Amino acid sequence: MALTHHQYSPPKLPRIVLTGIGLTSPNGNDLATHRAALLNKQSGVQDYEIRYVGKTLAGICDYDALKYQNRREVRRGTRAGSVAIYSCNEAVVNSQIDWENMDKSRVGIYLGVTEHGNVETENEVYELSQFDYDVSVWNHFHNPRTVANNPAGEAALNMGITGPHYTLGAACAAGNNGLIQGAQMLQLGQCDLALAGGVSESIHTFGIFASFKSQGALAEHSDPVKASRPFDVDRNGIVVSEGGCVYTLERLDDALARGAHIYGELVGHSINTDATDFVLPNPERQSQCINIALKMAGITPADVDILSTHATGTLSGDIQEVSALRKVFDANCKVSINNTKSFIGHCMGAAGALELAGNLGSFEDNICHPTINVDTLDEECAIPGLVLNDAKQLENVEYIVNNSFGMLGINSTVVIRKYSS
Amino acid sequence: MTPAEIRAAIIEILETIAPDEDLSNLDDAKEFRDQMELDSMDFLDIVMELRKRYRVQVPEEDYANLVSMQSTVSYLEPKMADLPAE
């Protein structure tokens, strides 16, 4: 008889902790600024215009690309590569690890992306159209820019990292998946330091806007900062954003040995698949995903303090996720539920990692940031614990659960525990 | 285009390809590589920009002519002489 997931007990694995964070988000280019913006209700969504689609909205990052690259490198590489380079370098600096003396062959990079290559391909085809489709003007950088490992590969090149580098395609679940992959590689002993998270350059491809528009899922609002409104009855779709968020992950013993600051411990995670539809979510599978992660963490739903939702502001998606949450959390649970996309839009491949980062501050201040822009809560999204419009002071935050779901039915959940010695 | 105009066109291309370089003191007789950071992909970029901007084709066997400003201008002169100045 085949061995099932439930019958197999893995060996005791090393504990994995988060020791550094580098990020760029539409409302901040470091963790402190991003967290403060979430507590001060600052959005990062702006008016935006892109080829063929015209005027729309987007979350745009304004990090200093020249902090870790020269202008030639920025020109040569991709936006996702640049976001990755900024986020990875910032994470290393933030971790205060002795980077100079670190064995770079023992460093691995694991970055999730929703998609990659569309930006370059669209730009090249447009350029080609200006030359009557003469392919002799097709850019020789097309291949190195569009290979699927590009963002992680560019970061490795920039930082002299010679360990493994993975770019993981996982639609909008990708940020969590990068984190999970990094943790697993540390547990397997494949690296001693993992740079793990997700990146997105998606606002530079018109196709993503046009496709959401055709699907009836692109947000529109006269006021950009009110456009991303998960759970609100007047929500009308997704605000596409760019961003990046990378963690330095280490085995607990290594982190303790160097006296690292520990943001939290990754105690549970899960990735599963709906196998039911191209784009429509499946609440049954989403709730299973959450439950598997909680089980791995050795906790019950009643132990969860904050749940960071994936909800993107689409009519059906938000309802489906709340439906999944209802299957997991009952009325006795203390969980506070929030949403980061209401501030910064949907950072695609970076979303999972970024949305977790913005919540980690609650381990120290016990404040749960809200979901903003909920003027009228959609009754179908009403669930106990929703923190709406104003931040909520909690007594103590021990466990944060972070959901991130994506097309083709990929679901991911991570559970982070406050670290205490 | 005169040799001086061709030189100005090359400088413009180099400014795009190598935006971090100071080209004001470029020695036309010296190889580009000895004065600035240029790799093989950058040389391909020069060839591509010539093709895009001036419709000038530089076949692979002629790439060696692009080592310095002087050799580049001499090589391009017959190919670009009939082009109007920009």
d(CA A72, CA A84): 16
The greatest distance separating any two alpha carbons of chain A, rounded to the nearest whole angstrom, comes to: 66
pTM: 0.96
The per-residue pLDDT for A4 is 60
Q: What value does the mean pLDDT take over residues A331-345?
A: 96
Model pLDDT for residues A239-248, shown as the tens digit of each residue? 999 999 999 9
Subunit contact B48:A131, Cβ cutoff 8 A: no
CA of B78 vs chain A CAs: smallest distance (Å): 22
CB-CB contact of A31 with A64 (8 Å): no
Closest CA to A244 of A372, A337, A154: A154
The per-residue pLDDT for B9 is 97
| Number of residues that this document lists for chain A | 421
Among A100-109, A211-220, B35-44, which is the least confidently predicted range? B35-44
Nearest chain A residue to B40, by CA: A140
CB pairs under 8 A between A and B: 23
Exposed / middle / buried, residue A170 (Cβ in 10 Å: 0-12, 13-18, 19+): buried
The per-residue pLDDT for A196 is 98
Is the Cβ of A141 closer than 8 Å to some Cβ of chain B?
A: yes
d(CA B27, CA B34): 10
Is the Cβ of B4 closer than 8 Å to some Cβ of chain A?
A: no
Nearest chain B residue to A130, by CA: B52
Subunit contact B20:A139, Cβ cutoff 8 A: no
* pLDDT-derived band at B34, boundaries 50, 70, 90: very high
The per-residue pLDDT for A331 is 87
> Nearest-5° angle of CA A337, CA A339, CA A342?
145
d(CA A375, CA A306): 22
A283 has pLDDT over 90? yes
CB contacts, 8 Å: A76 with chain B: 41
* pLDDT-derived band at A5, boundaries 50, 70, 90: low
Q: What value does the mean pLDDT take over residues A314-341?
A: 97
CB-CB contact of B65 with B71 (8 Å): yes
Q: How high is the mean pLDDT of chain A?
A: 97
Instruction: Report the phi/psi class of residue A113: left, alpha or beta, with left for phi > 0 and alpha for psi in -120 to 50.
Output: beta
Is the Cβ of B59 closer than 8 Å to some Cβ of chain A?
A: no
> Nearest-5° angle of CA A24, CA A33, CA A165?
30
Subunit contact A72:B20, Cβ cutoff 8 A: yes
The percent of residues above 70 in pLDDT, for chain A, comes to 98
A9 has pLDDT over 90? no
Q: What value does the mean pLDDT take over residues A313-318?
A: 96
Subunit contact B17:A72, Cβ cutoff 8 A: yes
CA of A154 vs chain B CAs: smallest distance (Å): 16
Is the Cβ of B19 closer than 8 Å to some Cβ of chain A?
A: yes
Residue with tokens 């018109």: A206
The per-residue pLDDT for A200 is 98
Nearest chain B residue to A132, by CA: B52
d(CA A34, CA A36): 5
3-state secondary structure of A190: coil
Amino acid at B75: Y
CA of B71 vs chain A CAs: smallest distance (Å): 24
Is the Cβ of B41 closer than 8 Å to some Cβ of chain A?
A: yes
Nearest chain B residue to A75, by CA: B17
The per-residue pLDDT for A10 is 79
d(CA A235, CA A362): 27
For chain A, give percent helix, strand, coil, nearest 5: 40, 25, 40
CA dihedral A158, A161, A167, A172 (to 10 degrees): -70
- Would you list the DSSP string of A212-239? HHHTT-B---SSGGGS--TTBTT---BP
Other CB atoms within a 10 A radius of the CB of residue A220 amount to: 12
Q: How high is the mean pLDDT of chain B?
A: 94
CB contacts, 8 Å: B52 with chain A: 131, 137
How much is the ipTM here?
0.90
> Nearest-5° angle of CA A279, CA A356, CA A320?
30
* pLDDT-derived band at A411, boundaries 50, 70, 90: very high
CB contacts, 8 Å: A139 with chain B: 48
CA of B5 vs chain A CAs: smallest distance (Å): 23
The per-residue pLDDT for A124 is 96
Q: What value does the mean pLDDT take over residues A398-408?
A: 98
The percent of residues above 70 in pLDDT, for chain B, comes to 99
Residue with tokens 């609650």: A362
Subunit contact B48:A140, Cβ cutoff 8 A: yes
| Number of residues that this document lists for chain B | 86
Exposed / middle / buried, residue A348 (Cβ in 10 Å: 0-12, 13-18, 19+): buried
Pairing of strands A193-200, A243-251: antiparallel
d(CA A254, CA A40): 36
Q: Which candidate from A70, A137, A140 shows the least CB-CB separation from B44?
A: A140
Q: Which helix (H) or strand (E) holds A122?
A: helix A118-129
Is the Cβ of B52 closer than 8 Å to some Cβ of chain A?
A: yes
CB-CB contact of A306 with A336 (8 Å): yes
* pLDDT-derived band at A268, boundaries 50, 70, 90: very high
A281's CB contacts (< 8 A; 6+ apart) are A274, A316, A317, A320, A321, A324, A405, A409, A411
Is the Cβ of B55 closer than 8 Å to some Cβ of chain A?
A: no
Subunit contact A76:B41, Cβ cutoff 8 A: yes
d(CA A347, CA B86): 43
CB contacts, 8 Å: A135 with chain B: none
For an interface test with A, which of B48, B55, B57, B60 has the most A Cβ atoms less than 10 Å from its Cβ? B48
Q: Which candidate from A71, A75, A139 shows the least CB-CB separation from B48?
A: A139
